Structure 1
Amino acid sequence: MTDDVPVTEAPTAPTTQARLPDAILADVPVVDTAALDPPTTELPTTAAAVGDEVETEEVDTRPLDELLDDLYHGQERISQADIYRRAVAAELPAQLLSRLNALPQGEYAVDEVTDLLGGSTG
């Protein structure tokens, strides 16, 4: 058993109250000036706004070619999941891993994978 003492009085109210300044509480209309401000050009752009003059970095597919040579040695078709698992274990670059991860689930012959991924193994 516990030695609980019954509460006979209501708790007292706090003695200090926080109050916002009257200027904040005044009924002043709020004007959205975002539409009036000129657009800011210092913000980063999105990929959709990038012009044709930007060159994309070419990915070295040699590690992928070597991995596929090793994987398909004696195999006709391999699943996307197995290819991706082995690519992660082989520490392929992130760009190649994202390409492998984007492949639809299923089994692929080596020529199908290289066509889809941009490799050169044949």
Structure 2
Amino acid sequence: MTDEPPNRDLDRLLDDIYFGQERVTQAEIYRRAIAADLHASLLTRIGAMPEGEYAIDEAADLLGGSAA
């Protein structure tokens, strides 16, 4: 787990996941968040997202990030 604020970690994760992608599934976001060893509060928020595909702005809105 990193010492950075969770939202900064979230923004970096989303930027990485969406590089070259328009839409990504909730399952992929969750899988990549676990692999990145993100804070438990972020994992909980990602796990609570409804299943489906999201654009980066939709995911950031749901998760409280600022990536867009």
TM-score (normalised: structure 1):
0.51
**Pick from 64, 75, 82: which aligns with 2:21?**
75
Instruction: Quote how far apart the aligned CAs of 1:96 are.
Output: 0.3
- Any idea what the Cα deviations from partners look like across 1:27-64, whole Å, max 9, x if unmatched? xxxxxxxxxxxxxxxxxxxxxxxxxxxxxxxx630011
| In 2, Cα distance between equivalents of 1:92 and 1:115 | 18
Instruction: Quote how far apart the aligned CAs of 1:70 are.
Output: 0.5
**Pick from 49, 53, 65: which aligns with 2:11?**
65
TM-score (normalised: structure 2):
0.91
Residue 101 of structure 1 aligns with an amino acid whose one-letter code is G
**Pick from 85, 92, 95: which aligns with 2:41?**
95
| In 1, Cα distance between equivalents of 2:6 and 2:52 | 25
Structure richer in helix, relative to its length? 2
**Pick from 63, 74, 86: which aligns with 2:32?**
86
Structure 1 residue ranges without an equivalent (≥5) = 1-58
**Could you list the runs of 4 or more consecutive aligned residues of structure 1 that deviate by over 2 angstroms after TM superposition?**
none
In the alignment of these two chains, the number of paired residues is 64
Query: Bigger relative contact order, structure 1 or 2, given CA contacts below 8 A and separation 6+?
Result: 2
Structure 2 residue ranges without an equivalent (≥5) = none
| In 2, Cα distance between equivalents of 1:82 and 1:62 | 19
The percentage of aligned residue pairs carrying the same residue is 62
Matched, 1:108 2:54: yes
